[in-house]
Structure 1
């Protein structure tokens, strides 16, 4: 089932001789239970792509359709409501609330959204992420890798239909990176979620169903080349 569609998306910053085309006429589609990688050099438009998909930034032109709803036509208040219901973010900066324990980072979402994970599912998730013994601690007590894993748990807790992850394994060692990707893959398949990962991490190639490359604001599906070993990202 198609969960996300981008139709002829363009994003321009500035004007005149300072005009920058961050995204150039992007058409993109993602289905439920797909794990998708977006690769490309710094400054190519990957982060702009993620923020537009997540409804945090409005495109200059084009339509973004999430579960049949065109979010490009929504007010900011309506987009905020949709983000809360449909989208989970995993950012490089973990964005944890400094005065809340790990457990309360997740429980905070109960105040604004129903139908989150059950207690049993949270217990399983925390064990899978290796943070079960950290649940009473505060962000300042955690390492960078631990904070990142808590941020992943927080994103999954609300059971979103789309997960947007910006370098989710950047601060993790190889073993933990593979564990996290295995978890994201399982959550994606078991919950019929769509997961889009921006990454430079060449260790992770085997986990993805599709691979797209962003170059100067242009998005290209390179799945076939990667699987055939024709793209240097795999090397």
Structure 2
């Protein structure tokens, strides 16, 4: 699951992003509403976490813009120090799905995200599957031929991206962005991660599902 976090407090942003990535999510972030809008316009996200009080464009305005201009109805969780009833009502009126008052525990934020996703995606598929490979996107469990497969957070992100796009080709640049954002390592780290993923997903089973497309990237397909 890919999350966009827009929060002008650098320390809060770092804490949330580190925690969510440890939980297996992909987290992009911005420190102001206009940058957040630019990211939302150019990338696809599953959920937005928006601070309300921000320079330039506040969280309420950003949410309204996403809803009205982009017709984007992905769930929005607001973060704010404002805790009056009128503030909460304003958040819901702008299109928000939940409201978390600062300060908060990261575990509560995670629980709120899970609850919002369950409500929002209750009528959508919560599993991705190809051949005998299955990902449960609620529990982050991966199985093939009924056998549980333990993946690192980065390998899970790779697998989820490839499987969501199957049978289409996913470019190296897209996969690198999913793992490292704009800070791609100098070494060929992606090749190493793909190798490890194949050792877990393909080597013990038949047929292989991860295929290299020379000069373009990788794809998952049953041949």
TM-score, length-scaled by structure 2: 0.30
Rg: which structure is higher? 2
